[in-house]
Structure formats: C-alpha cells, structure tokens
Amino acid sequence: MAVRVAEEWLNICGGCEVSILDIGDQLLDILPALEFVHMPVLMDSKYYGQLGERDHMEIPEADVGIISGGIRNDEEKKIAEEMRKKCKTLITLGSCACFGGIPAMANMWSVDELTDKVYRHCSTTESAATPTENIPGLLDRVYAVDEVVDVDVTIPGCPPSPDMIVEALTCLLEGKPFILPEKSVCDECPAKREKKAAGGDIKRPLQPLDIKVGEPWENTRCFMEQGVLCIGPVTRAGCSGTTVEEGEEKVPRCIKGYMPCRGCFGPIRKGANPLVDMVSSISSIGLDVKQVVDRRALLNRYIGGQNRLKPLPVRN
C-alpha cells in the first residue's frame, strides 16, 4: 500500500518545494510508493472543507508529513499543530523549517519595531496603519518548527538538495533512520589548509578569490584562509552528498561552485553556538573578527530561530 504523504509550506520562499520537483527522474521511481494526500503547492485542498462547511481546520491523516518554512504567524502555528496530529512521522524540510532560516534574521527586532519600519518608515512606500483585518496575527518572533511541535526527521539546506530528500524518504520507506553525521563542512572539504590565514583583511563576499577552476583541489587554498568568510567550520556536514560518482571527490555544495559556505545546514550539534565558535575560529587563524560586517546576523544567517537571534537587551 502506498505511503500517504502530506506536505505543507509555512513561512517560505517556495524554494524547498522546487527542490522536491527537482528530484527529477528519481521522483518517478519513488512516486508509486507515495500517495500525496495534501499539498497546497500542487493541489487544492481546503482546511475548512471545499465550501468552508467545517467549523475546524482539518488536514487528512498521513503516514509522513513534510513541513517547509518556519512559523511566523497564528495560522502557521495552527497548521503545524494539525500536521503533527495527523502525521505519524513529521519531517522538517529546509533551513527555514529546521532553524528559522533567512526570515528569522528579523528576530533581532521586536514585532512592533518591524511593523513600524515596514509600514511607516520605509522610504519607498507610503505610510499606513499596520493591517489587522482578515490576516493572521504575527507571533512575537520566527520559530523553527521543532520549537512548536515535535519533529522526527530534519532535512536542512537552503534549499535542501533533491538527492537528500530522496535519501531521507527512502530511509523512511525502508524503516531506517536518517541522521546527518556530527561533523563540520570543513571535515568534508578538500580545499588546502595551512591553519593560518594568507594575510590581509577579511574580504567582502564578491571580492575575487584565488581559484583555479577545474584543477585538483589540492591547488586551491581554503577560502577562509584567503580571507573570505566561510562558515564551514561551524556548519554541519552533509551537503556534499553521501554518494559520489567513480573518480569524483566529495565536495560541499557551495565550495564546489567556488563560493564559501553560508551555513545553511545549521549547527553541527544541538546546543552548539556557531556565533561564538566562528568568532574563535576566525581569530585562531589570525584574521580580524572586527572586520566581519554585520557579524551577528551573518554568523546566524539561517539559524535565527531556536532563540539564537533576539532583540538586544536594553542597557540601563
């Protein structure tokens, strides 16, 4: 019998769903084993019945629930709770659902400050009162899904890779656990390290790197040591995939594209504090942390939920 799947998108950009579609041919292999019973991005199903006849929200029962996106408002919170109730196994898909994601950078401000900025102090729009009618109320901050309901499996990544989605679903179908190793992106990175920076200032993201496209990796110096902020040291490994073609090397996803890691796989282990660890790691190779622009946001770029980013306390 096919496994029933329900999918929900909460506080999202839609990229995670594109990744599901991006699975491509492999999707055809696993599709017969799956039956999508609820998926707002692809099919029409109304929470309160097709004609709005129900008096409470309902999502069909499913074996597997997939949630992308964090939780920002009342409605999303309700949906997450209903998903938990109806799904035997709940998966969070993507960095937004797992850690709050990009939108959780807003957790550095209170909701009042945010709405004030957006509705009244934005130079390109006209001022207006904050809308209140017919829209769900904002929560005090962006929450990762696991702060609101229990989560069984996490698939991080912004966006998550199609291969990893297949792998996680296959594990589930075969009754095996899907757990990423507690190692860092650096542990899987082939760039050459000398344990100290090449010297000079920390570069801005678009300044050129010294890279030799197509050459073996031992000829490419670690980006961080070249002075480009690379969050690999404090980010969980996994984006280089579990399988590689014959004769190919395992390379983290962004590094493969000659870009530094931005940290989308989140902290290496629960309870780690990447901001603190990254500051230590930058200074330990002799770079000047002070030169990292917008340090707090940048080192928490995808992980502002779970209380990592919050408004600064008011000093007395």
Binding site for ligand SF4 (CB under 6 A): 12-13, 15-16, 68-69, 94-96, 101-102, 157-159, 185-186, 189, 191, 193, 222-224, 230, 232-233, 235, 239, 252-255, 260-265
DSSP single-letter state for residue 153: E
Residue 231 CB partners (closer than 8 Å, separation 6+): 185, 260, 261, 262, 263, 274, 278, 299, 301
Residue 239 binding target from other proteins, ligand SF4, none, CB below 5 to 8 Å by type: ligand SF4
Beta-ladder partners of 89: 64
Residue 92 binding target from ligand SF4, other proteins, none, CB below 5 to 8 Å by type: none
> Measured from the CB atom, is 13 or 298 closer to ligand SF4?
13
Cβ contact 225:194 at 8 Å: yes
> Measured from the CB atom, is 27 or 119 closer to ligand SF4?
27
* Cα radius of gyration rounded to whole Å, the chain: 21
Q: How far is the CB of 273 from other proteins (least distance, A)?
A: 6
Amino acid at 152: D
Backbone phi and psi for residue 6, each to the nearest 5 degrees, phi listed first: -115, 135
> Measured from the CB atom, is 65 or 263 closer to ligand SF4?
263
Written as one string, the DSSP assignment of 96-120 is HHHH-TGGGGGGGS-HHHHHHHHHH
Q: How far is the CB of 283 from other proteins (least distance, A)?
A: 5
> Measured from the CB atom, is 4 or 99 closer to ligand SF4?
99
Cα gap 220→298, rounded to integer Å: 24
Query: What is the residue whose two structure tokens read 């009342």?
Result: 74
Residue 284 CB partners (closer than 8 Å, separation 6+): none
> Measured from the CB atom, is 233 or 267 closer to ligand SF4?
233
Q: How far is the CB of 226 from other proteins (least distance, A)?
A: 20
Cα torsion at 12, 10, 273, 110 (round to 10°)? 90
Residue 289 binding target from ligand SF4, other proteins, none, CB below 5 to 8 Å by type: other proteins
Q: How far is the CB of 175 from other proteins (least distance, A)?
A: 37
Beta-ladder partners of 235: 267
Q: How far is the CB of 94 from ligand SF4 (least distance, A)?
A: 3
Q: How far is the CB of 276 from other proteins (least distance, A)?
A: 5
> Measured from the CB atom, is 102 or 297 closer to other proteins?
297
Residue 197: CB atoms within 10 Å: 20
Cα gap 272→261, rounded to integer Å: 18
Residue 101 binding target from ligand SF4, other proteins, none, CB below 5 to 8 Å by type: ligand SF4
Q: Which residues bind other proteins (CB under 8 A)?
A: 273, 275-277, 279-280, 282-284, 289-290, 295-296, 312-316
> Measured from the CB atom, is 95 or 306 closer to ligand SF4?
95
Q: How far is the CB of 147 from ligand SF4 (least distance, A)?
A: 16
Q: How far is the CB of 132 from ligand SF4 (least distance, A)?
A: 26
Residue 296 binding target from other proteins, ligand SF4, none, CB below 5 to 8 Å by type: other proteins
> Measured from the CB atom, is 108 or 198 closer to other proteins?
108
Cα torsion at 165, 167, 173, 178 (round to 10°)? -100
